[in-house]
Each structure stands twice: as structure tokens, then as C-alpha cells.
Amino acid sequence: MPTETERPEDAEAAEPPPSDVGGPYARYVLFVLVLVYIFNFLDRQIVSILAESIRRDLDIGDDQIGFLYGTAFAVFYAVFGIPLGRLADVWNRRSLISLGLAVWSSMTALSGLARSFPQLAAARIGVGIGEASATPAAYSLLSDWFPPARRATVLAIYSSGIYIGAGLGLGIGGLVVDSWNGAWAPGEAPLGLRGWQAAYLVVGLPGLLMALWVRTLREPTRGQAEGLTSQTDPHPFRTFGRELQSVLPGLTVWHLARVGGFDVVVRNLMAAVLIAAAASSLVRATGSLYQWVALGIGVYAALSWAQSLRLREPVTFALVFRTPALRWTGLGFSLLAFTGYGVGFWTAPFIQRLHGVSAAESGLVLGGTAAAAGWLGVTLGGVLADRWRAAHPAGRLRLGMAVALVPIPFGIWFLTTESTTTAYVLNFPLSLAGSMWIGAGASTVTDLVLPRMRGVASAAYLLLITFIGLALGPYGIGIVSVRTGSLRTAMLMAFFANALAVLCLLVAARHLPSDEASVAERAAAAGGDDRLR
């Protein structure tokens, strides 16, 4: 492990004294990062309210809309989240977030210039790569600014940006698309832009200014919240480059040959053949070429990275992949994300189609509901998760089980009522309960690894959340809608994932107390230094 050093660009960050942990400046950092997450999800979620306009203008189906929102974004978000998560562990985190924000904001604006499905898909890929920088770095940053006892609450408050941003995306997107299309006849608008294209430009460009603000934040000392010091990497971009090689198809084989030898490459190529065969079968079964090629690339990249991590950092690999509580926690919360992303994305198109309301009306009502209920739910969920955790080691997972069951009856009622007003009202408890698990999941993951591994562990957790929740949720509902001819049926079927999530979290809860208590010991047994905890 490299000795601890400080690069000149980090010296300006003026490492804060431990007394700053949890203090006014820490709360200021939290406020700024919440704004970053608002931009993150505003740019991401706006596709939902624009979906009907995009579908008509580009002449595409629900499965392709689901791909645009989900898989095109998710695969590259997850894959690049791995090396960017590693960079968050070894480089200046505020600079990483600032750079990523500039990239995804630019790509969101470029989405407004897209004239075809492939062009819009390419822009969504760029958004995914940029946004992959934010959350692992933010989780790590906030874990150093606040004490462990407040971690679920803090991460939940940070995650409230999901729902505020999603709500703003729906509201702003609906207003812009209806106002623009009402003001300009087709072909007469500036640059020939349609309303959905103008909406992308409106929400994308302000993020460039926000990126400059983020760059002014101070960088805390790693491990300061626990009173511990982690060693730093004097060559962070070499580390990032190695991590990037481990996930980019093509480079992965060369990388594995260099670090593991012939046998490792053979196993990797055999896995690639199996993944390609599975993807080919799914393409034939569904007719969705883009979906399964992209997801196959993502799964192969993730597998290659795991192989590389096992060879290069056996301690990190052991704690991230061989901790039963972490594995089952990730799977359980990923299934909740399947429902959350899937049903959440299709709610606006569902209201517009089956209740016959405009984009502006549905965007304002659903956006306001999502912002208020989501913010309240994720914040309340974080507070309750910390309280239940104080009462029992598995308290956070018990909260996850509870909020997996609560939305089911509300979801069935929401999807079957003929009253638009009732549907709007029911969307509030759905959004409330569906957001309460966020802080519990994130804090459970960070508590099960060493401080120096939090960025990688968060990236691995988000990879699972993203593949199962974002890549499969919106697309899965979309393809079932196409096959059955009923968006309502497809959305109802998504709630089966919540029941499976409860079973996974039950298993995780059985393992969590012992796994959490033995982090340092298991790290030492795998060859690490327990003093780095």
C-alpha cells in the first residue's frame, strides 16, 4: 500500500479538524450535495414526462422508451461507476463530482439536439457515464463529514435529491413541452426543435454553473469521522486507469492476462461466451436487440472487474463479495429498486394514456407529489432506520422489509381506479413508502466494509441496484406492456418484486449482526490491516 501523501491540488482543501465532523460546514456540504443529486435525477427522470412525445415523434414503442430511460443509461452508469468509485477512494472527491456534473449536464443538453432513436440513446449513454461519478464519491464524502450514528439520516437526506429532482423533472418537463408545442407549430420553432427537445436544453445547461460551485467545497480527511486515518494513493489516476482497464470490454482480457495469467483469461472468455449466448437467446425471444446487447456488455464488464479485483485487492474483494449480509442486502434493495424505477417511470405515461390528462397537468401534480412524498419518505426512512438500528443490529433491514410490503395495496388501488383524483392522491403514499428504504440500504453497505473501501463497495451496490432496478425495471414493464397490450397489467406485475425483496432482506438480517461485528477481523484474515478500519 502506498504511503500517505498529499498532492498540491489537495493541499488547498485545508484538511478540516475533527471538530468539524457533523458541524455547520458539514451541513453546508450536505446541502450542496443534495442540490447535485437534484440535478442528477432531474436530468435522469425528465424522460418519464417526455416519453409520450418522444414515442410519437421518433415512432418507437414502449420497450424502446424503457430502454432509453433504463438500460441505455443504466449499463454505462453502472460500469463506469466501478472505476469512478475507485477514483473516489483515491482522488479529490469534490473535483470528481464537479467534473461528472459538467459531463452529464452537457450530455443532457445534447439530448435536446437528437433527431433519432440512436442519437438519443447515445446521449443517454453519455448522461449515464457522467452521473456515475456522483453517488460513490458523495457517499464517501458524507461518511467522512458525519459520525456513524447519523450516517443513515445523512445519506437519506442526500438521497432526498432523488425525489426532489424527479419531481422537478416531471413538472418542468411537462410545462416546457406543452408550452413550447403550444407556441410553435411543427417545423416552425427555432432550430426545428420540438417541445421535448427544448425541455432537455432547459434542464441541462444550468448544471454547468452548479459544477463550478461544487468545485469550491473542502475535501475532508478520509476516516476522520471514526478518528482513523486511511493511507492515500500518490498516483490516483494510475489506480483509476487500472480499474478502467478491468471493466472495458477488449481491455479486460489484456488486463486479466497481465494480472492473472492464462487460466484467468480462459475463465473470462468462457463467461463471455455464456453471456453472449444468453443475450442472443433473449434477443430472439423479445426482439429487443439494443436491450440485451447493452445489458450483456454490462454484465461481462462487471464480471471482469470482479475477477480483477479478486486478484489485485483480495481484502476488498472478500469484504465486498464474500459478506453474506452485503450480498443479500444488495439483492433485496435491488428488487425494491426494480419496482421503484419501473413503476415510477411509467406512472406519468400511465396517467396520460388511461386518464387522458396533459403532460403539463400530470407533470405538475405527479412531480409535486413525488418531490414532497419522496423527500419526506427518504428523510423519515433514514431517521427511522437509525433508530431501529440503535434498537437492533438488523433494524435498518427490518425497515426495508416493512416498506416493501406497504406499497403493494396502494399500488393495486392506484392502477385499478377509474378516478384521476383518486390516482393522484394514492400516488402520495406510494411515493412515500417507495422512498423510505434508500438510506437504510446505503448505510448498511458502508457499515459492512472498511472506510478505504466505501467508494468501491458503494459502486458495487449501485451496480446491482442499477442492473436489476434501472436496466430491467422500466424495460421489463415496457416489454410486458407491448406483449400484453396493457400498461396497467405490466405495472401490476412489477409488485411481485417487493415480495421477493422481503425474503432476501430476511436472509440478510440473519447474517448482519455477525458480519458487521467482524469487519476488521475478516479483513485481517483476508490479508489486510485491521488498523485501517
Average pLDDT in the 177-205 region? 89
Reply yes or no on whether the pLDDT at 8 is more than 50: no
Candidates 151, 64, 14; CA nearest to 482 is: 64
- Domain assignment present for residue 493? The answer is yes
Task: Sort 186 into a burial class: Cβ within 10 Å, 0-12 / 13-18 / 19+.
Answer: exposed
Q: What does the alpha-carbon distance between residue 15 and residue 436 come to, in Å, rounded to a whole number?
A: 33
Provide the Cα torsion 170, 172, 177, 182; round to 10°.
130
- Domain assignment present for residue 305? The answer is yes
Range name among 152-166, 167-181, 224-238, 378-392 with the lowest pLDDT average: 224-238
- Domain assignment present for residue 429? The answer is yes
Reply yes or no on whether the pLDDT at 533 is more than 60: no
Reply yes or no on whether the pLDDT at 1 is more than 60: no
Please tell me what DSSP assigns to residue 221: P
> pLDDT tier at 530 (50, 70, 90 boundaries)?
very low
Non-local (6+) Cβ contacts of 492 within 8 A are 411, 412, 415
- Domain assignment present for residue 32? The answer is yes
The range of the structural domain enclosing residue 166 comes to 15-213+236-528
Q: What does the alpha-carbon distance between residue 501 and residue 332 come to, in Å, rounded to a whole number?
A: 4
**pLDDT score at 4:** 38
Q: What does the alpha-carbon distance between residue 246 and residue 82 come to, in Å, rounded to a whole number?
A: 9
Reply yes or no on whether the pLDDT at 286 is more than 70: yes
- Domain assignment present for residue 440? The answer is yes
Count of CB atoms situated within 10 Å of the CB of 8: 6
Highest mean pLDDT among 197-206, 244-253, 454-463: 197-206
Average pLDDT in the 32-44 region? 92
pLDDT digits 0-9 by tens, 48-84:
999 999 998 999 999 999 999 999 998 988 888 888 8
Query: Taking a C-beta distance cutoff of 8 angstroms, is the pair 65, 121 a contact?
Result: no
- Domain assignment present for residue 9? The answer is no
- Domain assignment present for residue 1? The answer is no
- Domain assignment present for residue 6? The answer is no
Range name among 122-131, 252-261, 463-472, 520-529 with the lowest pLDDT average: 520-529
Query: Taking a C-beta distance cutoff of 8 angstroms, is the pair 337, 468 a contact?
Result: yes
- Residue 290: CATH number of its domain: 1.20.1250.20
Question: Looking at the 3D structure of the chain, how many domains does it have?
Answer: 1
